Structure 1
Amino acid sequence: MSTRHRAVLAWSGAGVVTLAVIATTPFLLQWAAPTGRDWDELSKISQTYGALSVFFSAAALLGVAASLTYQARQTKTQNEEAQRAAHRELILVSLDDPDLAVCWDPLPADISLRGRKQIAFVNLIVSSWWVDYRLKRTNDDAVRVIAEGHFRGEAARRHWDVSGANWLAYCEALGERRSVRFVTLMNEAYVRAVADGPPVPTASYFAPDNAPRT
């Protein structure tokens, strides 16, 4: 359980307790008052209590509102994750099936089926980073570090060369500044990587099995 989640639960619990105390205090005062008590004095006490009860009621309601808002956000996040999981499954199913691969948006004609599979898989990787950034699990510096290593690879650059503009258009259509910021960070890293020189070819990623270790 996250610190934020615990804080919301604490506020909610405090709100419930406060409302319970406010609701029962008048009855407790009446029960505790001895026979012959000066009711004028009790009236003054009640007025003071009334002023305090307004303050605590407001605080309790704020706690409940915060809890409901947090729960709504959690539900939205869970729904989005379920939708992304379904989308990811569709992509994975189509990777090894040429008949299904053509159901997605067409790519430039010079991209082979193997290249298509690599671009689709890289897109899943970038999507996972995007989700973490949107949910504030990572920050700008973390994205820069990840993207710097990512764009050293040939497949990564090919993916962004083909899909970078689409990513920007999609995030702008969402109207989410944080999503647009993510694409901006990725694109800045891509531009720096291209300026630094050619990528590491996919063919040279791994040494032959019989290559001597250094």
Structure 2
Amino acid sequence: MAQVLGLPRKTSIRITVGIAIFLLLTLTPIVLWLVAPSGVDWEKLGEISQIYGSSLSAVALLGVATSLAYQAHQTALANADARHTAYRELTILSLTDPTLMVCWPPRTPRLSMEETKQMMFVNLIINSWFTEYQLKHVTDDALLLSFRTHFRGEVARRHWQYSSSARRAWGEAMGDVYAVRFVSLGDEAFAQAAAEGPPTPSSGYFSPEA
């Protein structure tokens, strides 16, 4: 089926189905009149037609409600993506111009400039994962695997210790079940990584240069 005026496939299907239902409701009386044999009980046939039409109308209304709910969900995702994009751009700007670091809230405990940059960069990584999770591009199991690998690193663990509680509080305040679930999966992977032993220190990431 060709897409309607270049619209997304799902939207095109909904529009096509809606038009089909409308035409069916409109043309049913005409079709009945054309095919009905002579001497037919039109009163009884009219009652049946009304019941049939009411049923189709209910289906049509359900389709409209479903379409509106889907559009609202897509709008919410688009707004969330816009917020993540704005935050990412502000963070990158701060990383390239350290004088802007003091425009963000002060961190507790205090960190060096190098540590602050590392925390902000890791936050960009985590935010990109959350966006993928929110869009349902990754499953819980896939996210857990990414978190477990991530928490092998020293900076990654330090960042999660610093930020996880704030992330959870924000998700709960927003009523965002995906955000809360995301943090819960991160906490689960963090606990598993911690049980396996200490992280790889930053100094141990690379082999000594010859």
Is contact 1:94–1:100 with CA below 8 Å preserved after alignment? Answer: yes
Quote the offset at 1:64 in angstroms. 2.1
Aligned-partner residue type, residue 149 of structure 2? G
Tell me the residue number matched to 1:46. Answer: 46
Instruction: Output the CA distance in 2 between the equivalents of 1:168 and 1:75.
Output: 23
SS at match of 2:19: helix
Tell me the residue number matched to 1:92. Answer: 92
- RMSD (Å), alpha carbons: 2.5
Aligned-partner residue type, residue 75 of structure 1? T
Of 11-20 and 145-154, deviating more is: 11-20
Instruction: Output the CA distance in 2 between the equivalents of 1:180 and 1:205.
Output: 31
Bigger relative CO (Cα 8 Å, ≥ 6 apart): 1
Query: Which of residues 18, 23, 28 is equivalent to 2:26?
Result: 23
Instruction: Output the CA distance in 1 between the equivalents of 2:11 and 2:99.
Output: 49
SS at match of 2:123: helix
Deviations 1:93-152 (A, max 9, x none): 001222101111222455211111110010111112122223332222112111100000
Instruction: Output the CA distance in 1 between the equivalents of 2:35 and 2:190.
Output: 76
Number of residue equivalences: 204
Aligned-partner residue type, residue 15 of structure 1? G
Instruction: Output the CA distance in 1 between the equivalents of 2:56 and 2:30.
Output: 18
Quote the offset at 1:28 in angstroms. 4.8
Is contact 1:148–1:189 with CA below 8 Å preserved after alignment? Answer: yes
Tell me the residue number matched to 1:13. Answer: 16
Of 57-66 and 106-115, deviating more is: 106-115
Of 153-162 and 136-145, deviating more is: 136-145
Deviations 1:51-100 (A, max 9, x none): 11111111122112212221221122112211211111001000122210
Instruction: Output the CA distance in 1 between the equivalents of 2:114 and 2:140.
Output: 32
Instruction: Output the CA distance in 2 between the equivalents of 1:68 and 1:82.
Output: 21
Tell me the residue number matched to 2:130. Answer: 130
Quote the offset at 1:205 in angstroms. 1.5
Larger radius of gyration: 1
Aligned residue runs from structure 1 range 169-188, under 5 A: 169-188=169-188
**CA gap 1:109/1:179 in 2 versus in 1, 3 angstroms:** closer
Which TM-score applies when normalising by structure 2?
0.85
Q: In percent, how many aligned pairs have the same letter? A: 41
Tell me the residue number matched to 2:76. Answer: 76
Tell me the residue number matched to 1:205. Answer: 205
Is contact 2:154–2:202 with CA below 8 Å preserved after alignment? Answer: yes
Quote the offset at 1:9 in angstroms. 4.1
Aligned residue runs from structure 1 range 98-137, under 5 A: 98-108=98-108, 110-137=110-137
